[in-house]
Chain A
Amino acid sequence: MPVIFITDAFLFLLVMMVIAYTLYARQHAHLRVPWHDVAQRPLAMSAAIILVVYVVVGLLDSMHFHPRLEATATHDAIYSSEVVSVLDLMLEDLYQNTERTYSAPLASHAFSKEMLDLPDGKQIRDYPRLIYGGAHLDDPAVERGADIAKHILVGLAYGLVISLVVSSVILFLLSRAHQLSFKQTWHKAWHNNFVVSWTAIIITLNFIILLACSIYSLAQHYHVFGTDKVGQDVLYQAIKSVRTGLVIGTLTTLVMLPFAIMMGLMAGYFRGWIDDVIQYLYTTLNSIPGVLLIAASILLLQVYISNHANDFNSPEQRADLRLLFLCIILGITSWTGLCRLLRAETLKLREIEYVQAAKAFGVSHFGIMLRHLLPNVMHIVMISIVIDFSGLVLAEAVLSYMNIGVDPGMNSWGNMINSARLEMAREPIVWWSLVAAFIFMFVLVLAANLFSDAVRDAFDPRLRH
């Protein structure tokens, strides 16, 4: 039985908007040309592929449903009250195979000593074997290294086959589309002569496939990133956190965009008292320290939630509402920058002949803003969306660290870092939760930064040659 959280709905709305935008951009040369420029850059295309992988993971994690427990003759179907996502089904092994407490990456023994019963009735204090990690080994001390190497190699072998198939399919489709022979296609792709930098895409895809296959192969028998305090697989948490990061990075922009565009255009176009009011509004909001405004609002939300505890069906729903609320608050604190840019640009545009001509023809104010101003400031909006994304992903971690981020029960990189931080004082140090969260976050933000650089270079008329 499907369940749709509010943020799920927004995410899918966003996907539809991106598809609609793509179709629109294909039709219009002024959008098509800069996007082709982006597609030509190998680095940008590698980054885009990585982003796509993250988005796919995030979307799989956004299809929630109540799993069916059983269907008997007497009952119809019974649904569990638990909410799971499609991604959870795919990662069921990772989710189910929990240990009792901390274990290091790829370990076969637990991280801390416990009292163990020996077969002869005596007790000793030693590291217990893990329930799942390396459980198939008879003597981990001897076999573990070779076994890990074996699993990586097996994974790589499968990965190699898959990546060969994927690359050939892409090249085959390319050669069909351009009516070239396979060899010509290969040649042309290698020299980056297509509109899209296919070599970068294929290389990045192959790399991801190889990495994913070897990790998958290892994850069958080990906890690749270890386990956390309650024994949950850290790799699972890190993958589940992808959705949270994406939601924060994209929904925030989506929420603030209508305000920023409307206010910016109106202030620049009408000038006079409307401009004064809007400028006053954003200077006031801007002068409140953003973190404090977020903190205050989250505190208020906590009060609201605890006063209306009965209105929520599940903790997931509550966490989801908090996530949405966080996006809205982040949006309120961050729309001012874009608004100011749009106002400045509109002030310039409104004096240009075609706007004056439209005015002389009696086009309504709304019509002028929609038809003549909006399309000409869209590049600023575009650039600001992609640049804000990485900053927002990083901000989530910081806010969660201060307990004013997402719900503490929600999987997020910030929460992983926050809970791991408390274990920093342990000796030896529990580092894997931190490292896993930082790696996942770093790859996403780096890809976003590289991609946004390319988008900015392609869309900013000052940089275009």
Chain B
Amino acid sequence: MMSYILRRIAYAFPILVGVNIITFVLFFVVNTPDDMARMQLGMKRVSEAAITKWKAERGYDKQILWNTDAESFEKLTDTLFFQNSVKLFLFDFGRSDSGRDIGYDISQRMWPSLAIAFPSLIIGLLTCITCGLILAFFRGSYVDFSGVIICVVMMSISGLFYIIGGQYLIGKLLHLVPISGYDTGLNAIKFTILPVLVGLIGGIGASTRWYRTIFLEEMGKDYVRTAKAKGLSESRVLYRHVLTNGLIPILTGVVVILPSLFMGSLIVESFFAVPGLGSYTIDAINAQDFAIVRSMVFLGSVLYIVGLILTDISYTLVDPRVRLN
């Protein structure tokens, strides 16, 4: 097991290098530091001196890959690529273009993201699995038919509608919870209710329909027929056999997004003014702060790859037929 995990981590390394190179090319070669400086300082009428100063302050004035002016090792390390991209591997994110410590910001902001994303995931899973199971139980009936139609309709509504509608209905008309904002400690709960609810309703259509398909697929299998032939009741077959076997693809599918929960949801966080990583990213995009966007791209890739590894491991744990190879 241990060697399998180590091998998977070794496989992940080239992918991270690839991500790193892509982001480096995008942010430093296609779009040179000069362009960035002009963007930040105002497009027109920027003096060369101001650009040089801006670049020097952020260390963007170095040579790209190979520093011919430096001594021995520093030829490699004192370069744009090393300083900005290689350091990401050590999770040293450096400073944002506005001078803040990105690593510190991330460590502060990931908790609000998690406070929204984790309950959304758990409540969403429970609700959608229940709904999916109910639809599968009543398969072929009007309950099933109308349920699927409702799912398709709910899938077809833009997520923005749920957010805006939720804010208007629950926050503004009914005054049940605050429309947006965040607070520390236990006070945060009342701020998380609305985003979690909106996230739940927004995702319920697609997930329920998908889970229903999974359960229906399980129901068609031989072991279900055997269980019924043994004389087990319909509900017992459903809970003991169909549910447990259907959960395998559902839960292993969830594992891949578990680490990414830290990243938060861009849209939900920015609409509800949650100071998480999602709104951090959006603010960086709007302020065109490339250093932050670059760090978030790398962090997102790392978390995704961790998720992939966890998925593979969870397969081996849940399904004894899968061998480690």
Q: Is the CB of A434 within 8 A of B156?
A: no
Are B158 and A299 in contact, CB atoms less than 8 angstroms apart?
A: no
Instruction: State whether the Cβ of A417 lies closer than 8 Å to any Cβ in chain B.
Output: yes
Interface string of B15-27 (1 = CB under 8 A from A): 1001100110011
Contacts A429-B168, A446-B153; A297 near B26 (Cβ below 8 A): yes
Contact segment of A20-28, A110-118, A279-287:
A279-287
The reply to whether B152 and A453 form a contact with Cβ atoms under 8 Å apart is: yes
Q: Is residue B123 contacting chain A, with contact meaning CB distance below 8 A?
A: no
Check A283/B15 contact, CB under 8 A, given A398-B267, A445-B156.
yes
Task: State the interface size on chain B (CB cutoff 8 A).
Answer: 45
Asked whether B70 is an interface residue with its Cβ less than 8 Å from the other chain, the reply is no
A441 to B156, CA, bound (A): 8
- B30 in contact with A280 (CB, 8 Å): no
Cα–Cα, bound, A446→B297 (Å):
33
A residues near B301, Cβ cutoff 8 Å? 287-289
In angstroms, Cα B156 to Cα A199, docked, is: 25
The reply to whether B304 and A299 contact each other, CB–CB distance below 8 Å, is no
In the complex with contacts A306-B43, A434-B164, A403-B286 CB distance below 8 A: yes
Which residues of B in the span 152-176 have a Cβ within 8 Å of any Cβ on A?
152-153, 155-161, 164, 167-168
Let me know if A280 and B14 touch, CB within 8 A.
Answer: yes
Tell me if A87 counts as interface (CB < 8 A to partner B): no
Closest residue of chain A to B17, judged by CB? Answer: A284
Most buried by B among A291, A297, A300, A442: A291
Q: Is B135 an interface residue (CB 8 A)?
A: no
Name the A residues within 8 Å of B308 (CB-CB).
283, 287
B31 touches A287 (CB 8 A): no
Alpha-carbon gap, A127 to B112, bound state (A): 45
Do residues A300 and B15 form an inter-chain contact, with CB atoms below 8 A?
no
B175 → A minimal CB distance (Å): 14
Q: Please give, as numbers and ranges, the residues of chain A lying within 8 Å of B267 by CB-CB distance.
A: 398, 401-402
A300 near B31: Cβ-Cβ < 8 Å: yes
> In the complex, are the beta carbons of B160 and A424 less than 8 A apart?
no
Nearest A residue to B153 by beta-carbon distance? A446
Contact A287:B152 (CB < 8 A) given known A299-B288, A429-B168: no
A135 to B27, CA, bound (A): 55
* Contacting residue for B300 out of A292, A403, A434, CB 8 A: A292
Residues on A with C-beta less than 8 A from B121 are none
Expressed in whole angstroms, the minimum distance between the Cβ of B32 and any Cβ of chain A is 9
Contact check, A289 vs B304: say whether CB atoms are below 8 A apart: yes
Could you show 20 A-B contacts with beta carbons less than 8 Å apart?
Answer: A280-B14, A286-B304, A288-B23, A288-B297, A289-B260, A289-B297, A291-B266, A299-B31, A303-B35, A303-B36, A390-B156, A394-B159, A401-B160, A402-B285, A403-B285, A424-B167, A429-B168, A438-B158, A449-B156, A450-B152
Contacts A292-B293, A390-B156, A398-B160 known; list 13 others, CB within 8 Å: A284-B15, A287-B19, A287-B301, A288-B19, A288-B23, A288-B301, A289-B263, A289-B297, A292-B281, A296-B293, A299-B285, A300-B31, A445-B155
